[in-house]
Structure 1
């Protein structure tokens, strides 16, 4: 008799959360100006051509995404090396690494000839990856069912945001969607206790993601400061690729805190 009211309360809370998120999104769309794509947004500092590959370093610097994404995806599905407890977590992490793999191909394809038609192949896989990552965090810290429902909802929002951007030439939703993890992940990390050890890797990964965004914004300045050896955008790719590597190390070495506590009591 107690379980049914608790389940209903949980549904009411989830409904309020989604309603609040929708109202915040509606307010953001009404309060902020349109952010259209422009020709300048596709002009990067490093335009060098090596071995017949246009924008060579911006293309090749996506290779670490491929390695980290494929290895993480395989290890997630194997279920041996990564400590993942629930099926909802498996779906979230598998889709995260699939998105990282998609970033490798999509970003390389975009940087071969940057324009409005190709930018979606660079942006969409990244949005899917970080939507899946945040859903995995919710499954770990809050509830597995909430994480799975957020995974479906956020991935759907990723596609809808890209459709909106392509239809109305307004990238506000896409830009916001990529910045949300930098705020939401630390907030969830501090509000909800960790189920696993090595939880600081979440904050380390967020730090590298923020650093990557700074490097992208300082593309030309970094290119000149390094005496035209490497640009900020290429460094952004390399720095962003550290995020899945850090999280893979976390998944390999983390342990369930409850299990560790039980083992301690058995020894006592």
Structure 2
């Protein structure tokens, strides 16, 4: 069994941090989707495909997602908890669906197609957060959180899209769905003992995802330096690599037997 890892201040700190961020987000006025978001550096047509590299690099998501689903179909890898199988499946289904969803968006970037890019990303974010809760805090909590989190994430996207169509877009709920788990996960990793060896795979995922977001910010600069690869296309490669790090972890991690330590 794990050592006693549930003193009251730990969940209180996590919940308090979450509430502080959520309240803080809604102290700001609604944030609509900037139209310039859809103006990517890569606008070149190759082989008849517009925005070619932003489209083509989504293949990595599909490949990683399918590889993860294949690994789970063969049985539960050693680095997984059987109780969290739905969460692992939801994570890799989300990763796989990012591929076609993002392809659809990048062929004709606009708010309507962006919905189908963000939906599978949200499924992956929420499933991954439920995995971390299940592996570090309580597998029962991870199980119970999966579907409410996914539904909450989908609701945030539906809300954003509805407000955009009404002329007063509000990205705040979606921003929380995307970034709050990335804030809470490191806190959980630091506060609670792991169920498996190889925590580095999760830190690598977080690090690669952070670098991917930086690459996205420097889309044009990277395009000028690494032509024909843009910062946004590089973001796709890095984010898919982050998911692959987790898949490697599932294959290579081993359960920690705390009663033998």
One fold, TM greater than 0.5?
A: yes
Query: Tell me, what secondary structure is at the counterpart of 1:117?
Result: helix
Q: Tell me what 2:74 maps to.
A: 78
**What is the RMSD of the two structures over their aligned residues, measured on CA atoms?**
2.5
Q: Tell me what 1:6 maps to.
A: none
Q: Tell me what 1:185 maps to.
A: 185
Deviations along 1:124-164, one digit per CA (max 9) or x if unpaired, are: 11111011001001101111111112212211111110111
Distance 2:16 2:93 in 1: 29
Provide closer, same or farther for how the CA distance between residues 23 and 221 of structure 1 changes in structure 2, counting only shifts above 3 A: closer
Provide closer, same or farther for how the CA distance between residues 181 and 23 of structure 1 changes in structure 2, counting only shifts above 3 A: closer
Q: Tell me what 1:122 maps to.
A: 117
Distance 1:14 1:189 in 2: 13
TM-score by length of 1: 0.85
Q: Tell me what 1:196 maps to.
A: 196
Deviations along 1:210-237, one digit per CA (max 9) or x if unpaired, are: 00000001101111122x3211000000
Task: Name structure 1 gaps, 5 residues minimum.
Answer: 1-12
TM-score by length of 2: 0.88
Structure 1 residue ranges, 4+ long, deviating more than 6 angstroms after superposition: 13-20
CA shift, 1:174, in A, is 1.4
Q: Tell me what 1:5 maps to.
A: none
Larger Rg: 1
CA shift, 1:176, in A, is 2.6
Structure 1 residue 247 corresponds to structure 2 residue 228: no
- Aligned counterpart in structure 2 of residue 41 of structure 1, from 37, 59, 64: 37
Number of residue-to-residue matches in the alignment = 249
Provide closer, same or farther for how the CA distance between residues 25 and 46 of structure 1 changes in structure 2, counting only shifts above 3 A: same
Q: Tell me what 2:60 maps to.
A: 64
Structure 1 residue 101 corresponds to structure 2 residue 96: yes
CA shift, 1:28, in A, is 2.1
Q: Tell me what 2:257 maps to.
A: 258
Deviations along 1:153-198, one digit per CA (max 9) or x if unpaired, are: 2111111101110111211221232122321111110100011101
CA shift, 1:19, in A, is 9.3
Task: Name structure 2 gaps, 5 residues minimum.
Answer: 1-9, 164-168
- Aligned counterpart in structure 1 of residue 22 of structure 2, from 19, 22, 25: 25
Distance 1:23 1:242 in 2: 31
Please tell me whether the aligned partners of residues 14 and 188 of structure 2 are also in contact (alpha carbons under 8 angstroms): no
